[in-house]
Amino acid sequence: MNIELRHLRYFIAVAEELHFGRAAERLRISQPPLSQQIQQLEQILAAQLFTRTNRSVQLTPAGASFLTDARAVLLHVEQAAQRAARIHSGQQGELRIGFTSSAPFTGLVSDALYQFRQRWPEVHIHMQENNTRQQLTPLHEGRLDLGVMRNTTLPPDLQHRVLLREPLCAVVHRAHALAAATTLPIQALSSEPFVFFDPQGGTALHGEILALLHRYQITPFITQEVGEAMTILGLVATGLGVSILPASFARARLPEVVWIPLEEHDAISEVWLVWSAVREPSAQLRNMMSLLLPRDLH
């Protein structure tokens, strides 16, 4: 059965006008080709759609039924075309973003997500919390469009831009002897019990902070190892030790915890945006990147 959309349009015009001449004028074609197309459609369907006399054209019961379905088909095709165009332009569709646990505490990320929702409300954002290591495979396989992560070693098919560089801070209980300091040299933490990341957890902060400590010949006395930064904060809040974390986590505002900037110039952590270097970025991704990196889209 080789029914084409033009068959449906021609049929609907005749069915609504009930006059071949007026239908032909409406379609801006001559009447003989229109009559031929309707006859061809009836042959394809093996059904008579109209009863024709010298004075009138009327729908048969089969024609009336087919009219309902033909309208529905054309409406569905029109909606599909509009939806495809809106997805292509970034007005609809979806955007899949992986993020580390610190991303919601980063003002740039939360502000960009809010602005995106206001400007493109019909784009569904799928947020998936993963540590840095866990985001790499989904980005490589195309199951994530964008990753928000800490600096790490990337495979060649992924590219990145630095979203921000934020200071690393000492995190201590408010009753700790160091809590009154406005800044601290990292050496002040060398003999303190540390609450730190589990090395098997996959967070890039583990290696990043350890590397910072080792650059200053500090081997931390780690007494507690946990998987998430918020758990570290919770344990520091109970007085079980001190830690070092990016300043963005201070937005959690635990009253028992004091944040003290470290004096060392290299006590910083980078937040990266990571996406495919081999796949064409979607309009949805480009729109998000324009909010996150307005001066450097690619």
- Does position 109 have pLDDT exceeding 90, yes or no? no
Residue 162's beta-bridge partner residues?
272
- Does position 183 have pLDDT exceeding 70, yes or no? yes
The CA distances from residue 228 to 30, 97, 199, in Å, are 73, 19, 11
pLDDT of res. 266: 95
pLDDT of res. 22: 95
Percent of the chain residues past pLDDT 70, beyond the cut: 97
Query: Looking up tokens 């160091």, which residue turns up?
Result: 178
pLDDT-based confidence at residue 295 (cuts at 50, 70, 90): low
Cβ atoms of residues 240 and 195 within 8 Å: yes
pLDDT-based confidence at residue 297 (cuts at 50, 70, 90): very low
Percent of the chain residues past pLDDT 90, beyond the cut: 81
Question: Per-residue pLDDT tens for 283-293?
Answer: 999 999 999 98
pLDDT-based confidence at residue 152 (cuts at 50, 70, 90): confident
Burial 216-227 (b: 16+ CB within 10 A, else e): eebebebebbbe
Amino acid at 55: R
* Over residues 203-222, mean pLDDT: 92
pLDDT of res. 298: 42
pLDDT of res. 227: 86
- Does position 128 have pLDDT exceeding 70, yes or no? yes
Question: Per-residue pLDDT tens for 5-37?
Answer: 999 999 999 999 999 999 999 999 999 999 999
pLDDT of res. 1: 64
Q: What are phi and psi of 94, to 5 degrees?
A: -145, 160
* Over residues 67-73, mean pLDDT: 97
Q: Is the backbone of residue 202 left (phi > 0), alpha (psi -120 to 50) or beta?
A: left
CB neighbours of 117 closer than 8 A, spacing ≥ 6? 125
Neighbours of 7 (CB within 10 A): 18
In angstroms, the CA 100 to CA 221 distance is 26
* Over residues 141-150, mean pLDDT: 94
Q: Three-state SS for 68?
A: helix
pLDDT-based confidence at residue 132 (cuts at 50, 70, 90): confident
- Does position 258 have pLDDT exceeding 60, yes or no? yes
pLDDT of res. 203: 80
Question: Per-residue pLDDT tens for 260-270?
Answer: 999 999 999 99
Mean pLDDT computed over every residue of the chain? 92
Q: Is the backbone of residue 41 left (phi > 0), alpha (psi -120 to 50) or beta?
A: alpha
Q: Three-state SS for 33?
A: helix
- Does position 159 have pLDDT exceeding 60, yes or no? yes
